[in-house]
Amino acid sequence: MTTPTFEMEQALIAQGYPRIAGVDEVGRGPLAGPVVAAAVILNPQDIPDGLNDSKKLTARRRRTLDEDLRARAEFAIAEASVEEIDDLNILYASHLAMERAVAALHPAPDYLLIDGNLIPKGLTLPAQAVVKGDARSVSIAAASILAKNWRDQLMVDLAQQHPGYGWETNAGYPSKQHREALQNLGVTPHHRRSFKPVHNILYQE
């Protein structure tokens, strides 16, 4: 299993880009809740050990790294709402969340490493799209951890207001419990109406 490194960042620093932000988003697949993005600038002299793609870490390890990153890195976290997801589509809403996270970093980064194969159109800084970036760059991995922890906690909080859907464990993804609750309990204001399983319930004959 490959683990992410600081090699891409080091090469960019050598080219004259000292402040490099890793950018990643979480939550494209769920039926409920916002999409969340984070932008992280690591201190090259103080990088937490064990950074990796958030999906490869236990919840406990993610929480520990989340605390480390908040104490030792520059970061910003941003969302695009369910309404924006339904209005724009999930890809553009994900990009909007990324743009907001980058815009919230002060001072601005010199260069962006963005997870995926597309650079959001609203980003004007020098940038590079990195496929499977959270497995290759520790800066992107750091962003994935902060975004996932933020979103998971948000869905735990929403689960208190809307019990029965299992959001505290499925984070809004279409688990069996979540799909059955949609049928039995109906659609909440936090559901993405443009997503087929939700749309089908709202507009079934």
Query: Can you say which residues are annotated as belonging to the binding site for a divalent metal cation?
Result: 24-25, 115
Task: Give the count of beta carbons closer than 10 Å to the beta carbon of residue 25.
Answer: 29
Instruction: Please report, for residues 38, 78, 106, the alpha-carbon distance to residue 103 in angstroms, rounded to integers and kept in the order given.
Output: 11, 9, 8
Q: What are phi and psi of 94, to 5 degrees?
A: -60, -45
Tell me if 40 sits within 8 A of 157, measured CB to CB: no
List the beta bridge partners of residue 191: 32
Binding residues: 24-25, 115
CA distance 17 to 110: 5
Instruction: Please report, for residues 11, 21, 79, 112, 136, the alpha-carbon distance to residue 141 in angstroms, rounded to integers and kept in the order given.
Output: 17, 11, 18, 13, 8
